[in-house]
Structure 1
Amino acid sequence: MTGAVVVAVWIGVPAALFLIWLLFRSGGYKRRPLDAPPGRDWTFTGERFVDPGSGEGVEVWFCARTGERAYVRARTDEAA
């Protein structure tokens, strides 16, 4: 490899990783809670918490088939 290619790789790879991180860092658990459980395969885990961003009570639901978790607005205001 020539010197220019090596420098481009040393700068380009970290820059690309940083851009990917920057684009996806706002995802994760900051999704808005659903209004109802996603379907029949889902079971309530017993977990409840108050969403710090909205102040709403949120319940955690789990799908054993996929391992996915969903966050649903609590039916009551009693979120712990």
Structure 2
Amino acid sequence: MLDVEKLNLLGECTKQSDGRNGANNCKDTGSNCLVLAKRGFCELNLYQEIMRDMCTLSCGYCPPVMEYISYDERQSRENAPMV
């Protein structure tokens, strides 16, 4: 059994995740987010809360995307010769 499977059982996870769920949900819901972000509204105290809610992607509030690498692929990368 792989470590990921053990952790899923231990944490009672019912669905395996590839680490990208947060990125799939990260989007702008406002129509002018890109323009507002370029004009600095993401950093203005008065607008930060609404910009975080409506313009998550344009303001850069999305969680980092974690790349899922299988055990075999990770082993291949670790054992590959340096060029």
Quickly name the TM-score band, shorter chain normalised: under 0.3
* Larger RCO, structures 1/2 (Cα 8 Å, 6+ apart): 2
The two structures have a TM-score, normalised by structure 1, of 0.20
Greater per-residue helix proportion: 2
The two structures have a TM-score, normalised by structure 2, of 0.20
Larger radius of gyration: 1
